[in-house]
Amino acid sequence: MSTLETTNTPIRLHSPQRLLHRRWVWTRRMLVGLLILLVVLGIAGATYQAIAIRRDAAAFPPPGQLVDVGGYRLHLYCIGQGSPTVILESGQANSLAVWSWIQPAVAQTTRVCAYDRAGVGWSEDSPMPRDARQMVVELHTLLQNAAIAPPFVLVGHSFGGLVTHVYAAQYPTEVVGLVWLDVEHPEQWTRTPEGRAQYQQILRLSRIGPSVARIGLIRLSNYFPPVKELPPQAAAAFKAWLDTTRFMEVNAAEFQSQLASAAQALAAGALGDMPLLVVTATDHGYPPDMTDVLEAQWLTMQAELATLSTNSAQQIVEGATHGSLQVEERDAQVSSAA
């Protein structure tokens, strides 16, 4: 009689602690792998950004001259002949390429100079704060060192209104007139709940912008589409500037000094009987449910700006946007005629 023998293989049971350990090891490996991938992508993006910036710098050399203002140089571009000299002051972090319709039009009748503020466009960085008062010091030094003598008509767009206001108050004998193209009101960011909310939103974005640009994401995502309304060469140069890391850095620096600049313009006060023209756009692309309220607030503050001089006028350009007064040929013609 045969004997059947049964061999029982023991079943190995894993404790919950052992299973959790294995899962943690797997998760850790995945996280390390993901971190390595992100580092590699970041390095690749930063390399791509650096190469693209060098390529664009070679493709778009400065059209004007670089003038020393005390250890760093600002880019100045003047054309035309005559007096008074018109000085063009750009909006926040904008290079002088945005004046490519207005500058040659004005140059038909007088000399007109555009420049890049420190850190902007073809200008070198400044170690000084990026508020309106410091910008006025730099502009005044720039004009002196470049032998550009007054009298001046100052033309400011957007943030440039604060700078030209402070300049006119600080050097009233040099300035014979002001033209403000849809410029900021000194209380734009503080007077209303909507303005305060918008300021905080832009402030938060300004803090992360440089890091995003540094690894090439601004350029790769085409976050800033080409401004096709400008002349082709100017549009390409301006697009190249918007895609740089420096644009996001100086944009952040200028915006983070916005309240200081606004306070300086507010302190500058009235302009006496200095000729002043306030040109106002009517379409700012506000959300549909807020358009009526916000446009009414804008028009009110623009009208207030016109009261800063006893010799002023306001011109409302129906259908114009904040940017079109500079970059669209039709609206820029209105600005040039002003």
Q: Is the dihedral of CA 229, 226, 206, 129 positive or negative?
A: negative
Residue 91 lies in a domain: yes
Residue 213, pLDDT score = 80
Query: Domain with 230 in it: what CATH number?
Result: 3.40.50.1820
Indicate the average pLDDT of the chain.
88
- Residue type for position 251: N
Domain-embedded: residue 240: yes
Residue 282 has pLDDT above 80, yes or no: yes
pLDDT at 40 over 70: no
Predicted TM-score (pTM) of the model is 0.85
Query: What pLDDT, on the 0 to 100 scale, is given for residue 12?
Result: 52
- Residue 2 is predicted with a pLDDT of 47
**What mean pLDDT is predicted for residues 298-317?**
97
Show the domain range for 214: 67-337
Q: Which of 78, 75, 81 is nearest to 57 (CA)?
A: 75
Per-residue pLDDT, averaged over 161-190, amounts to 97
Pure H helices in the chain: 16-59, 102-106, 132-145, 160-170, 193-214, 217-220, 232-242, 245-256, 258-268, 291-306, 324-327, 329-337
Would you say residue 196 lies in a domain?
Answer: yes
Q: Report which of residues 17 and 232 the model is more confident about.
A: 232
Q: Which residue has the higher pLDDT, 39 or 146?
A: 146
pLDDT value of residue 223 = 83
Environment class of 65 (CB within 10 Å of its CB; exposed 0-12, middle 13-18, buried 19+): middle
Q: Which of 25-34, 84-93, 130-139, 248-257 has the lowest mean pLDDT?
A: 25-34
**187 burial type by CB count under 10 A (0-12 exposed, 13-18 middle, 19+ buried):** middle
Indicate the number of domains in the chain. Answer: 1
Q: Stretch 239-256: mean pLDDT, rounded?
A: 93
46 inside domain? no
Look at residue 39 and tell me whether its pLDDT is greater than 90: no
Does residue 8 fall inside a structural domain?
Answer: no
**Residue 135 resides in a domain:** yes
Measured CA to CA, the distance from residue 173 to residue 193 in angstroms comes to: 38
- In this structure, which amino acid lies at residue 232? P
| CB distance 136 to 70 below 8 Å | no
Please check the confidence at residue 336 and state whether its pLDDT lies above 90.
no
The answer to whether residue 332 scores a pLDDT higher than 50 is: yes
The residue with greater pLDDT, 60 or 130, is 130
Percentage above 90 pLDDT, the chain: 67
pLDDT band at 4 (very low <50, low <70, confident <90, very high): very low
Q: What is the pLDDT of residue 197?
A: 92
Give the per-residue pLDDT at 80.
Answer: 98
| pLDDT at 185 exceeding the cut of 50 | yes
Calculate mean pLDDT across residues 171-176: 98
pLDDT of 162 above 60: yes
Q: What is the DSSP string of 131-193?
A: SHHHHHHHHHHHHHHTT-PSPEEEEEETTHHHHHHHHHHH-TTTEEEEEEESPPPTTTTTSSH
Encode pLDDT of 101-153 as tens digits.
Answer: 999 999 999 999 999 999 999 999 999 999 999 999 999 999 999 999 999 99
Between 126-135, 211-220, 245-254, 271-280, the lowest mean confidence (pLDDT) is in 211-220
Task: Flag the least confident range among 29-38, 240-249, 297-306.
Answer: 29-38
Give the confidence band of 49 by pLDDT, cuts at 50, 70, 90.
confident
pLDDT of residue 263: 98
**Is 251 inside a domain boundary?**
yes
**pLDDT band at residue 224 under the 50/70/90 scheme:** confident
pLDDT at residue 226 tops 80: yes
For residue 31, being part of any structural domain is answered with: no
